[in-house]
Amino acid sequence: MDISTIFFTIVSVVAVVSALLVVTCKNPINSALSLILTFFCLATFYAMLEAPFMAAIQVIVYAGAIMVLIVFTIMLLNIRADANKKSFHNVPLGIVVGIITLLTAGSFLARGKVSDLPGQITPNIIHQVGHTELIGAVMFTEFILPFEITSILLLAAIVGAVILAKRNLS
């Protein structure tokens, strides 16, 4: 086993354990912390897949911004651990969805080759040009329309948030 396989195994164990802790922790803050850890493991996977830009954005956006807001909300509402409450709602539905996902993934795996399928962008090109440069070049030429649509969508969301927050002001 080479060093990157060992590293990958360790990180994936942490990822799975922390993902399980997100749903099993009684204390909402501990759940949120586990979710941050899961995001970190995802960022590590991106970095190992030669996608440093995705790794950095994963940490900045998910761990650094979205989770701060979630932790903030938990703190403001002062949700404490509910140790006695046991909830089994949606467990059957969860089992059904889980099995369907597993079968879908299995069918994709069974259909053909899943590894060593190099696309246009090889690790060599990433090393030469740089990952950020590659993403930027494609995003502002080939995918400019989806990019602009997303920005209009975000603008609408910001305007909506301001209107909701300032509704009571004359």
Partner 1 sequence: MDNVILGLPLYYYIAMVAKVLVAFVFVLLTVAYATYAERKIIGHMQVRIGPNRVGPMGLLQPIADGLKLFFKEEIIPAESSKFAFLVAPLVALVPAFLTFAAVPFGSTIEVMGYKVPLQIAAYYDTDMGKVVDLNVGVLYVLAMASLGVYGIVLAGWASNSKYSLLGGLRASAQMVSYELAAGLAIIPVFMLVGSLSLQEIVKAQEGFRWFIWSSPMTFVAGLLFYVCALAEINRTPFDMPEAETELVSGFCTEYSSMKYAMFFMAEYANMVTVCAITATMFLGGWDGPFSRTMPLLSPLYFIAKVYFLMFVTMWIRATVPRYRYDQLMTLGWKVLLPTSLALIVLTGIAGFMGFNTFFG
Report the interface residues with partner 1, using CB under 8 A.
Answer: 2-4, 27, 29-30, 33, 36, 48, 50, 52-53, 55-57, 59-60, 63-65, 68-69, 71-72, 74-76, 123, 127-128, 130-133
- Residue pointed to by tokens 């897949």: 49
Minimum distance from residue 36 beta carbon to partner 1 (Å): 7
> Exposed, middle or buried, 70 (CB in 10 Å: 0-12/13-18/19+)?
middle
Nearer to partner 1, 105 or 144 (CB): 144
* Beta carbon of residue 91, minimum distance to partner 1 (angstroms, whole number): 27
State which residue, 104 or 122, has the beta carbon closest to partner 1: 122
Cα gap 58→44, rounded to integer Å: 10
Determine whether 146 is exposed, middle or buried from the number of CB atoms within 10 Å of its CB (0-12, 13-18, 19+): exposed
User: What's the closest the beta carbon of residue 15 comes to partner 1, in angstroms?
Assistant: 18
Which C-beta is closer to partner 1: that of 19 or that of 52?
52
Q: How far is the CB of 16 from partner 1 (least distance, A)?
A: 20
The smaller minimum CB distance to partner 1, of residues 19 and 71, is found at 71
Separation of alpha carbons 72 and 49, rounded Å: 32
Q: Which two tokens stand for residue 96?
A: 């059904």
Question: Three-class SS of residue 119?
Answer: coil
